[in-house]
Amino acid sequence: MARTTSSSTRQDTSSGAKIIRSEPGDGPGPDVMDAATLIGDDVVNAQDEDLGKVESIMLDVQSGRVAYAVLSFGGFLGMGSKLFAIPWSALTLDTEEKRFILDVPKDKLENAPGFDKDHWPSMADQGWARDLHSYYDVSPYWEDDMETTRDPRTSAGAASKNRTGV
């Protein structure tokens, strides 16, 4: 059964994961987090069904963005599990439950394009990436207008703010 809280979901125009939180966090999270703290987090769907665990977080090194979370699903004690690249923007971080939510039915994930630990796809291939984003019904992260998602806490974002006078 899904748990109901008075949490709010942070909405913005970025291609990042959404965040569900009940109150501001102490320290750097949840807006900026050590990626290693997210490895091993459970992933569930909106029906609270177990979809697996986060195995890796993949960065687009040139753009400096998180591209995908790699999810392991199926198998027994880690043996025979299948891996899935999930677009980062398809995920919601639930800080209260310390897990991610992927709003897809379990059978959609079971039928999703996946791979095994010894045969990873070429994640830099734009055709593969477009198909993957389309499967999860999210826009590709590289199509975001970075001008509208500037963070004023950064030097680039502050410079952008000063030029526009906002």
Q: What is the per-residue pLDDT across 2-38, written as a single tens digit (0 to 9) for each?
A: 433 334 444 444 566 777 665 666 655 666 777 888 9
> Can you give the pLDDT at residue 81?
79
Task: Say what the pTM is.
Answer: 0.72
> Can you give the pLDDT at residue 67?
93
Residue 92: strand pairing partners: 18, 101
Region for 52 from its dihedrals, namely left if φ exceeds 0, alpha if ψ lies in -120 to 50, beta otherwise? left
* CB-based contacts of 153, cutoff 8 Å, min separation 6: none
* Range scoring the smallest mean pLDDT among 40-49, 120-129, 138-147: 138-147
Closest CA to 4 of 104, 94, 89, 102: 94
* Range scoring the smallest mean pLDDT among 7-21, 68-82, 85-99, 100-114: 7-21
Check whether 54 has a pLDDT greater than 50: yes
> Can you give the pLDDT at residue 84?
96
> Can you give the pLDDT at residue 75?
66
Closest CA to 150 of 142, 160, 139: 160
Residue 42: strand pairing partners: 53, 99
Closest CA to 35 of 62, 68, 74: 68
- Grade residue 137 by pLDDT with cuts at 50, 70 and 90: very high
Residue 153 has which token pair? 């806490």
- Grade residue 86 by pLDDT with cuts at 50, 70 and 90: very high
Check whether 85 has a pLDDT greater than 50: yes
* Range scoring the smallest mean pLDDT among 14-28, 112-126, 127-141: 14-28
Check whether 166 has a pLDDT greater than 90: no
Residue 84: strand pairing partners: 71
Averaged pLDDT of the chain: 77
